[in-house]
Structure 1
Amino acid sequence: MKRTTRAFAAGILFATTILGIVYYTNHKQLQPNKISEKQYEQLVAERNELANALEKLKKETKKTTPSQKQTYIYTLTIAKGEASRDIAKRLQQAHIIDDAQSFLTYLDAHELTRAVRPGTYVITSDMSYEQIARKITK
Structure 2
Amino acid sequence: MKRTTRAFAAGILFATTIIATIYYTNHNQSKNNTVSEKQYEQLVAERNELADALEKLKKETEKTTPPQKETYIYTLTIAKGESSRDIAERLQQAHIIDDAQSFLTYLDAHELTRAVRPGTYVITSDMSYEQIARKITK
- The offset of 1:102, in angstroms, is 0.2
Q: Secondary structure at the match of 1:87?
A: helix
Amino acid at match of 1:120: T
Alignment of 1:87-106 (within 5 A): 87-106=87-106
Amino acid at match of 2:136: I
Between the aligned partners of 2:128 and 2:88, the Cα distance in structure 1 is 13
Q: Highest CA radius of gyration, 1 or 2?
A: 2
Alignment of 1:100-119 (within 5 A): 100-119=100-119
1:85 aligns with 2:85: yes
Task: Indicate the residue corresponding to 1:124 in structure 2.
Answer: 124
Between the aligned partners of 2:136 and 2:81, the Cα distance in structure 1 is 13
Hey, which bits of structure 1, 4+ residues long, moved more than 2 A?
58-63
Amino acid at match of 2:111: E
Alignment of 1:12-51 (within 5 A): none
What is the RMSD of the two structures over their aligned residues, measured on CA atoms?
Answer: 1.5
The sequence identity of aligned pairs, in percent, is: 89
Task: Indicate the residue corresponding to 1:55 in structure 2.
Answer: none
User: How many aligned positions are there?
Assistant: 79
Unaligned runs of 5+ in 2: 1-59
Q: How high is the TM-score relative to the length of structure 2?
A: 0.54
Between the aligned partners of 1:99 and 1:79, the Cα distance in structure 2 is 22
Q: How high is the TM-score relative to the length of structure 1?
A: 0.54
Task: Indicate the residue corresponding to 1:134 in structure 2.
Answer: 134
Amino acid at match of 1:61: K
- The offset of 1:60, in angstroms, is 6.8
Q: Greater helix percent: which structure?
A: 2
Q: Secondary structure at the match of 1:121?
A: strand
Relative to structure 1, is the Cα distance of residues 61 and 80 closer, same or farther in structure 2, using a 3 angstrom cutoff? same
Between the aligned partners of 1:60 and 1:71, the Cα distance in structure 2 is 20
Between the aligned partners of 1:82 and 1:134, the Cα distance in structure 2 is 17
Amino acid at match of 1:104: L
